[in-house]
């Protein structure tokens, strides 16, 4: 146990994360556990918390002692610094939303697999992603109670992990109605791995904005910079000029994606069957999904089923007649804002392999 300067008692687990992450459910990367996307084939719209990916940038999930935990809101952007206990937080007006959470590097493996551009870092396929129901206090409520000033520019939640991971966001996003300081996920208190006792939910933005184990929120009347918006979580490379102190363009919003809920690669029996998948947009509902079985020449409409929520996603189904041999299933989504997934060849490259969004051919072998 270590006493933090802010009074919260934090013990660190020896492993990176705490919840069980069996290989049958997860791909284990060095410091993250990626959901095997076939988990999304089950009829439930939400991703089971037990199956939800874990991404720790630092060494380990901290255990935060909730009795001594405090949320401190301070900085020159607020008139009345706040100090809230867990009970204080639970007593504030809350909101419940269904949204996806997705790592900026989700899909990074496809830069290597299809575009010959291997970027360092976890080689996520589609499983750095999950949909959950989040309950928490709108960040706007908290900032309002701290006497938010009109001149405030940036809001920076700071994690209680050893590395004090902190990622600033502009005040506009901090005040969005669905940007929450979350304390419950899928109807239960947050698990330690997912940010207990409280984490940010910054809908539609890269997962690194959704800081876990928040102990402090800094509000400033000037731009704030940390390693996580200057050297990582920036688009870097020939297409992206540096924007000092950032080495490139700061990543914020995620990309429209669609994925097949089958193992990678998959084996299917021959015959008529219905394939399930998901499509998700950071800004809008899904308008339609089409599926190609010939590598992206001809597309056929898929059927959207169940809830279809902006910044969460929609399930889709597609019935095909599988003949023995190799097959690729390539879904392509269009959202209600008119965004459409590009072809592989039109996917822009960046050094860190963030924000992959092209339509991906899912490899399948059909056995007769
Ligand atoms: N304090 C803190 N917050 C963090 C991280 C971290 O390492 N420390 N990882 C971020 C990243 S990169 C992602 S993708 C999400 C992952 O959230 P999850 O582990 O609950 O799925 O949390 C973000 N919040
Ligand atoms: Mo991430």
| pLDDT the model gives residue 58 | 83
pLDDT over 80 (residue 10)? no
| pLDDT the model gives residue 21 | 93
| pLDDT the model gives residue 15 | 57
User: Per residue in 116-168, pLDDT tens?
Assistant: 999 999 999 999 999 999 999 999 999 999 999 999 999 999 999 999 999 99
Ligand 2 centroid to residue 93 C-alpha, Å: 28
Which ligand has the minimum distance to the alpha carbon of residue 198? 1
CA 233 vs CA 105, 108, 111: distances in Å: 9, 13, 17
- Model confidence band, residue 9 (pLDDT cutoffs 50, 70, 90): low
User: Per residue in 229-275, pLDDT tens?
Assistant: 999 999 999 999 999 999 999 999 999 999 999 999 999 999 999 99
Cα 79 from chain centroid (whole Å): 32
pLDDT over 70 (residue 11)? no
Computed over every residue of the chain, the mean pLDDT equals: 95
| Mean pLDDT confidence for 64-89 | 98
| Mean pLDDT confidence for 1-25 | 66
- Can you give the pTM of this predicted structure? 0.96
Q: What is the DSSP string of 120-146?
A: SS----S-SEEEEEEEEEEHHHHHHHT
| pLDDT the model gives residue 255 | 98
| pLDDT the model gives residue 3 | 42
Q: 260: which residues sit within 8 A by CB, 6+ positions away?
A: 37, 266, 275, 276, 277, 329, 331, 362
| pLDDT the model gives residue 303 | 98
| pLDDT the model gives residue 34 | 96
Residues at CB less than 6 angstroms from ligand 1: 52-58, 101, 103, 159, 161, 165, 193-195, 207-208, 210-213
User: Per residue in 34-55, pLDDT tens?
Assistant: 999 999 999 999 999 999 999 9
Percent of the chain topping pLDDT 70: 96
Ligand 1 centroid to residue 52 C-alpha, Å: 12
| Mean pLDDT confidence for 314-327 | 97
| pLDDT the model gives residue 4 | 46
Residue with tokens 């630092």: 58
| pLDDT the model gives residue 249 | 97
Mutation test residue for ligand 1: of 17, 57, 99, 226, the one with most atoms within 8 Å of CB: 57
Closest protein CA for atom 21 of ligand 1: 54
Ligand 1 centroid to residue 365 C-alpha, Å: 35
Beta-bridge partner residues of 257:
280
- Model confidence band, residue 1 (pLDDT cutoffs 50, 70, 90): very low
Closest protein CA for atom 15 of ligand 1: 207
pLDDT over 70 (residue 8)? no
Mutation test residue for ligand 1: of 201, 212, 217, the one with most atoms within 8 Å of CB: 212
- Model confidence band, residue 212 (pLDDT cutoffs 50, 70, 90): very high
Ligand 2 centroid to residue 317 C-alpha, Å: 28
Torsion of CA 89, 90, 94, 99, to 10 degrees: 90
| Mean pLDDT confidence for 345-352 | 98
Ligand 1 centroid to residue 310 C-alpha, Å: 21
Closest protein CA for atom 24 of ligand 1: 211
CA proximity to 129, closest of 257, 228, 21: 257
pLDDT over 50 (residue 2)? no
Ligand 1 centroid to residue 236 C-alpha, Å: 21
- Model confidence band, residue 16 (pLDDT cutoffs 50, 70, 90): confident
């Amino acid at each position: 146990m270590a006493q933090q300067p802010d009074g919260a008692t934090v013990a660190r687990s020896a492993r990176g994360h705490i919840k069980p992450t069996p290989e049958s459910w997860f791909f284990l990367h060095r410091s993250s556990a990626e959901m095997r996307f076939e988990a999304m084939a089950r009829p439930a719209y939400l991703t089971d918390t037990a199956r939800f990916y874990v991404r720790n940038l630092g060494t380990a999930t901290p255990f935060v002692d909730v009795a001594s935990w405090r949320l401190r809101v301070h900085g020159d952007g607020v008139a009345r610094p706040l100090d809230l206990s867990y009970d204080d937080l639970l007593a504030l007006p809350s909101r419940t939303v269904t949204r996806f959470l997705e790592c900026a590097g989700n899909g990074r493996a496809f830069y290597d697999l299809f575009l010959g551009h291997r970027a360092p870092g976890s080689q996520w396929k589609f499983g750095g992603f999950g949909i959950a129901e989040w309950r928490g206090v709108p960040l706007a409520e908290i900032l309002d109670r701290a006497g938010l000033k009109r001149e405030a520019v940036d809001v920076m939640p700071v994690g209680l992990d050893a590395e004090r991971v902190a990622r600033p966001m502009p005040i506009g996003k901090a005040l969005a109605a669905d940007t929450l300081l979350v304390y419950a996920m899928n109807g239960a208190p947050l698990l330690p791995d997912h940010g207990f006792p409280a984490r940010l939910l910054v809908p539609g933005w890269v997962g690194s904005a959704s800081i876990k184990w928040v102990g402090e929120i800094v509000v400033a009347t000037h731009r704030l910079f940390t390693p996580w918006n200057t050297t990582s979580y920036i688009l870097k490379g020939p297409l992206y000029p540096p924007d000092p102190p950032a080495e490139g363009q700061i990543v914020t919003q995620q990309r429209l994606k669609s994925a097949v809920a089958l193992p990678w690669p998959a084996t299917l029996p021959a015959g008529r069957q219905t394939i399930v998948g998901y499509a998700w947009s950071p800004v809008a509902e899904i308008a339609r999904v089409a599926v190609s079985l010939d590598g992206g020449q001809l597309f056929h409409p898929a059927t959207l089923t169940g809830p279809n929520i902006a910044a969460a996603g929609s399930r889709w189904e597609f019935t095909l007649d599988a003949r023995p041999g190799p097959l690729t299933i390539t879904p392509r989504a269009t959202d209600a804002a008119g965004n459409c997934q590009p072809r592989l060849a039109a996917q822009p490259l960046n050094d860190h392999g963030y924000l992959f969004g092209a339509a991906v051919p899912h490899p399948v072998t059909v056995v007769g």
